[in-house]
Amino acid sequence: MREAFIYKTAPFSHLISPTLEKASCCHLFTCKDGGVSEGYFKSFNFAAGSGELCDSWENVVENHRLAAEYMGFTKEDICRSYQTHSLEVRVVDRSYRGKGLVHPPFDCGVDGLVCKEEGVLLSVRGADCVTVLLYDGKNRVCGACHSGWRGTLGKIAAKTALSMCAIGAEAEHIVAAIGPSARSCCYNVGEELYESFLAQDVSNRAFFQNRDGKLYLDLQGAVVSALEEAGLKEENIADGGECSICNENRYFSHRRSGVLRGTMAGFIGIREG
């Protein structure tokens, strides 16, 4: 379901999903502005980067602190994914607090996180890749994942929802929000990627558009479809419709800027009390 996310500029730029808010879910998707990073990473950047020029880890940690404290958490409450385009989802708890930010507490790539304990703030990142935040308000279970094209092909969003159900959530009560990411208006992809999706399931053809001889992938459509397969109701899946590639003023984009750019984050957690 498409819904307009609420865009706020103070104390930093971010988006809120009305569907998640209605479920009393503490969450947000960050945008570009309001952080402390400079240069290519200006300014609300959540990853040091992988190019020759990197942002300082101090800046990255400070940006996490700003987001966490605004949400009623501390930076020590953050459990941050260790993203490698894997299909790995981990259940985390309070023992992960204080470890997730500086020292990733995982022995391998972990692109999905689920949690049912209070006081843990889950964090996933993207700069064109889809970030998905999930919450079951009845059973108080939250989840988050990073779903680039590989994760989307492997249905990591569905795996994350099912992992939530394994610790007490019920699919019919899960609401999900799809953050700013590369959309089919801009996300031109190659033939190989098309073949990979079709090799998995010919019905995946529905997620590709052919315009002027070029292929465009609807990542969000594929994520929604995977979540529906996991049992989520269509009306409980909120797609903000925000494209990171063509909205330069608001979002970082790998497609637009390569490695010399910042990375946005999605946060979700169950507050204490």
Q: Which residues of the shown chain bind Zn ion in the complex (CB under 5 A)? A: 183, 185-186, 243, 245-246
Q: Which residues contact 88 (CB under 8 A, 6 or more apart)?
A: 108, 109, 110, 111, 112
**Residue 190 C-beta: closest distance to Zn ion, Å:** 18
Contact 68, 265 (CB under 8 A): no
Identify the CA nearest to 177 among candidates 4, 61, 17: 17
Nearest to Zn ion of 167, 186 (CB atom): 186
Q: Tell which residue, 9, 33, 32, 5, has the closest CA to residue 21.
A: 5
Distances (CA, A) of 131 to 58, 148, 199: 24, 8, 24
Nearer to Zn ion, 42 or 255 (CB): 255
- Rounded CA separation 117/120 (Å): 7
Nearest to Zn ion of 31, 165 (CB atom): 31
Between 73 and 207, name the residue whose CB sits nearer to Zn ion.
207
Gap between the Cα atoms of 149 and 161, Å rounded: 18
CB of 182 to Zn ion, least distance (A): 7
Nearest-5° angle of CA 5, CA 267, CA 39? 90
CB contact at 8 A, 82 and 234:
no
> Smallest distance, Å, CB 222 to Zn ion?
16
Least CB distance to Zn ion at residue 224 (A): 17
Minimum CB separation of residue 223 from Zn ion in Å reads 16
Shortest approach of Zn ion to residue 30 CB, angstroms?
A: 19
Residue 171 amino acid letter: A
Choice between 63 and 181, CB closer to Zn ion = 181
Q: Between residues 48 and 186, which has the closer beta carbon with respect to Zn ion?
A: 186
